[in-house]
Amino acid sequence: MHANTYQLPHQIIQSQSILENFTTRNQKYVADTFEQIMDRHGTSVETLADVVIHARNMEDELPSILRRQFHQEVDILQNTHIESFLHDRLMIQLICEHYRSLNKGKVTGAVSLDTDVLDCVDDAITEAKHVADANLGVAPEVHIQSDDSINDDNFIPPPLIRSWLHHALVEVTKNAMTSNIQRLILQQSSSTAAAVSSLPPPVHINIDKKELPNESKFLRIQIKDQGTGLKNREQAFGFAQSSTQKRWNRLEEQQSYAAVRQPLGSLGVGLPLSRLMMRVFGGDLDVANHDKEGDGIDSGCTATLLINYDDTYKAKN
């Protein structure tokens, strides 16, 4: 997709004058090069989604007898190829961001060792509310509950990439808000009773520590909605398999990231990309329907984000 992306760092590696005399000017040159690479990769996920959607449309137009062979032979339709591309793209972005942060004086680069988890959750809620309000005219309330250990002054957060956690939190929170609003709309359309609420039910977020039987330790963030539930889990995590009818056109509908928030849904890349971000360093993201729970939450589903505490895993991988 970017034929000469790899030529840019190779030019730096092959230049003895830069490596042997790393002046402020040369530092800026390297930082600008990495910035250029990040810009090139900025829209690569959307481009890949467009290609995958186009290939699927071609497959649908073929006679049924040819579709299986087409699907097997077109690499872009294979999940392993898509995940490999997304993983490489994420790591290229991370390496560039890491150097850029180091160049700006942040001693841990792109990695955050002292993230205020509650502050990160709060930032994601604020953005998700803006998205929901801008697209649907209302944003559900969010109730946060955290384990006592999380609020303790001695709480040590896990090392993480804060921008990745923020991305994943915004994605699952706006999905939860959308589901709650959809449930309210269904209730209002099927009932004439005045008792039906005019506000969507709240989203619940629980934060605690989780230790698995293999002694792996995680920070766990659960986002619980009270919406219409998950109809197809495989489709939810399928790349470019959005359930949204109207697709969002980045060029026509958004002039700048600062002026217009991301849409509620369109390309179908949010959940699979968020899960990959969590899994790169040994965490995970999953979504599942829940039955009525002890805290009074009935229908809907729970999105669970796990952030790995295990430095041994990170070192080995």
- Per-residue pLDDT at 259 exceeds 50: no
Task: Please provide the average confidence, as pLDDT, over all residues in the chain.
Answer: 82
1/10 Cα distance (integer angstroms): 18
All structural domains of the chain with their residue ranges: 7-103, 117-316
What are the C-alpha distances in Å from 247 to residues 155, 262, 266? 43, 12, 5
Average pLDDT over residues 185-202: 74
> pLDDT class for 250, splitting at 50, 70, 90?
very low
CA distance 175 to 172: 5
Q: What is the CATH number of domain 117-316?
A: 3.30.565.10
Cα gap 129→123, rounded to integer Å: 10
Residues contacting residue 168 through CB under 8 Å, at least 6 positions apart: 274, 275, 277, 278, 285, 305
% pLDDT > 90, the chain: 32
Buried b (16+ CB within 10 A) or exposed e, 97-120: bbbbbeeeeeeebbbbeebebbeb
More confident residue, 264 or 51: 51
| Higher pLDDT, residue 118 or 2 | 118
- Report whether 224 contacts 296 (CB < 8 A): no
- Residue-wise pLDDT for 302-316, tens only, equals 999 999 987 666 656
Backbone torsion region of residue 240, taken as left when φ is above 0, otherwise alpha when ψ lies between -120 and 50, otherwise beta: left
